[in-house]
Homo-oligomer: A and B are copies of this chain.
Amino acid sequence: MARRTTQLEEKAERPGGFEFHGYARSGVIMNDSAASTKSGAYMTPAGETGGAIGRLGNQADTYVEMNLEHKQTLDNGATTRFKVMVADGQTTYNDWTASSSDLNLRQAFVELGNLPTFEGPFKGSTLWAGKRFDRDNFDIHWIDSDVVFLAGTGGGIYDVKWNDSLRSNFSLYGRNFGDIADSSNSVQNYIVSMNNFAGPVQMMVSGMRAKDNDDRQDANGNLVKGDAANTGVHALLGLHNESFYGLRDGSSKTALLYGHGLGAEVKGIGSDGALRPGANTWRFASYGTTPLSDRWFIAPAVLAQSSKDRYVDGDSYQWATLNLRLIQEVTQNFALAWEGSYQYMDLQPEGYNDRHAVNGSFYKLTFAPTFKVGSIGDFFSRPEIRFYTSWMDWSKKLDNYANDDALGSNGFKSGGEWSFGMQMETWF
C-alpha cells in the first residue's frame, strides 16, 4: 500500500513528459563446487519449442531493458507518446562486456491518442506506428514465458469501441526471416492481426504471409528450406479474471492458442521462418495468484503445447510444464519463496537439426529467502533481492537430445544437480 502511494505521487510529479521505466535482473549462480553450472528457463529440450520451466533460482544472466518515454497532452486533449527501449542480455559477470555486448534497440514507436476529430467507435482510440511489442501481450512471469508475444515493425489502432463492452485492436506487423544484410537472404513476413475484448474474454485472430519464404537463400546462395511455409494463421482465446478463477480473491489468466503454417509458432507470432505449411500447434496456458492466509500466498501455473509436422513431415513436439510458486511472509521485508516446477516432454524431431527423439520428465525445486522493501506478499511487487538454492533432476533419456544443449553436457548430467546463488530483480 505504501508503495502504491509512492507510485502515484511519482506520477504526479513527473515533468516535461519524460518517463524512465525498466526491467532488470542480475545475479550469480554456481553449483555445489562453487563453479559454473547451467541455468535458464529454456534449458530443457522442450525449451527449443517454447517449453519454459520455472525461473526462480534458475537465471544468472544480467538482462536489462531501459525504456525512455516522451509524453505530451495537448490543449485539445490529444496525447502523444514516444517510447524507445534499449536492452541487453549478458552471461558474463565482468563489468566491461563490449566484446559480447548485445545492446540493441528493441522498440521505438509513437502513439497518438484521444484525437479530437475521432468520433464514434474511434473516439478515445490510439493510433500507433513503429517497432514495438504489442500492448496486449501477456506472460506467465514465473516461467519467463509470454503466453503470446506479437512484436515487430508496423502500425495499428487500439481500442476501437463498438459498444460499452466490445473493443477491438487492428494491426499490421512486419518481421524478417534470414540475414537482413543480404537481400537475397531476407524475406518479409507481414502479420495482420485483430484482437477483440468483451469483458474478461479475448479473441485474437492473425493471418500472415511471407512471400517466397520457400525460396529463401543463405549467404552462399543455397536454398535455406524448400518446404518452408509462405503463409499462416493464428488464433488465441483468452480469459482475464480479476479473481482466482472465480473462486477466491486474486487474479488469473487463461488462454488457448492454435496456429497453422507460419502461425504454428504460437507464442512469437510470425517469428519462425522454418515452419512447414502443414505445421499445427496447440497451446494451453493458465496461471493465477491468491492469498492462502495472512502470511502465505500461492501462484500455480500450467503451460502445455503440442506441435506436429513442425519442421519435418511427421515430427512431433509435445510438452507440459506445471509450476507452483509460494510466498511465505516472515516480516514486511523478508519472505521465503518456494518454487516447484515439473515438465513432461515427448519430442520426435525426426532428425531435424541433429536432434534425437526423447521423452521424459524434468523436476526443479527452489527455496529463495527474499528481501523486499514492502508489499512482501505481492507476487508482482519489485525490487527483490534473493538468495536461493535449487535442485534439479531429469530423466536420463533427456541427456541425449542434442550435443550442444544444457542437459547431458559435460558435468551436467541426469542424476541431480544443485545450484546456489543470489540475484536482484526489478521493474518500474
Contact = CB atoms under 8 A, between A and B. Distances in A.
Interface string A1-26: 01101100011011111111010101
A116 B373 CA distance: 8
Could you say which of A96, A118, A131 has the most chain B C-beta atoms within 10 Å of its C-beta? Answer: A131
A68 B20 contact: yes
Given A117-B331, A373-B78, A110 B422 contact: no
A62 B153 contact: yes
A116 B33 CA distance: 36
Contacts of A425: 110
Contacts of A14: 15-16
Interface stretch (A101-109, A292-300, A317-325): A101-109
A194 interface: no
A96 B383 CA distance: 25
A16 B16 contact: no
Number of copies: 3
A103 to B, nearest CB: 5
Nearest to A409: B183
Given A95-B133, A104-B101, A373-B80, A16 B11 contact: yes
B93 A188 contact: yes
A196 to B, nearest CB: 22
A79 interface: yes
A74 B4 CA distance: 9
Contacts of A93: 131, 152-154, 173-176, 188
A250 B12 CA distance: 39
Interface stretch (A48-56, A81-89, A158-166, A279-287): A81-89
A332 to B, nearest CB: 6
A187 B173 CA distance: 42
A30 interface: yes
A37 to B, nearest CB: 9
A95 B331 CA distance: 41
A103 B100 contact: no
Contacts of A385: 110, 112, 127-129, 155
Q: How large is the interface on A (under 10, 10 to 19, 20 to 34, 35 or more residues)?
A: 35 or more
A424 to B, nearest CB: 4
B24 A82 contact: yes
Contacts of A34: 190, 209, 211
A373 B74 contact: yes
A176 B90 CA distance: 12
Nearest to A386: B129
Given A24-B130, A373-B115, A424 B109 contact: yes
Nearest to A2: B75
B130 A62 contact: yes
A141 interface: no
A44 interface: no
A180 interface: yes
Contact of A175 (B88, B94, B110): B94
A6 B74 contact: yes
A173 to B, nearest CB: 8
A97 interface: yes
A82 B64 CA distance: 11
Given A30-B190, A95-B132, 4 more contacts: A6-B73, A22-B68, A27-B155, A72-B373
Q: Ordered nearest first, which 5 A-B pairs have the shortest CB separation?
A: A129-B424, A13-B15, A98-B102, A26-B130, A78-B373
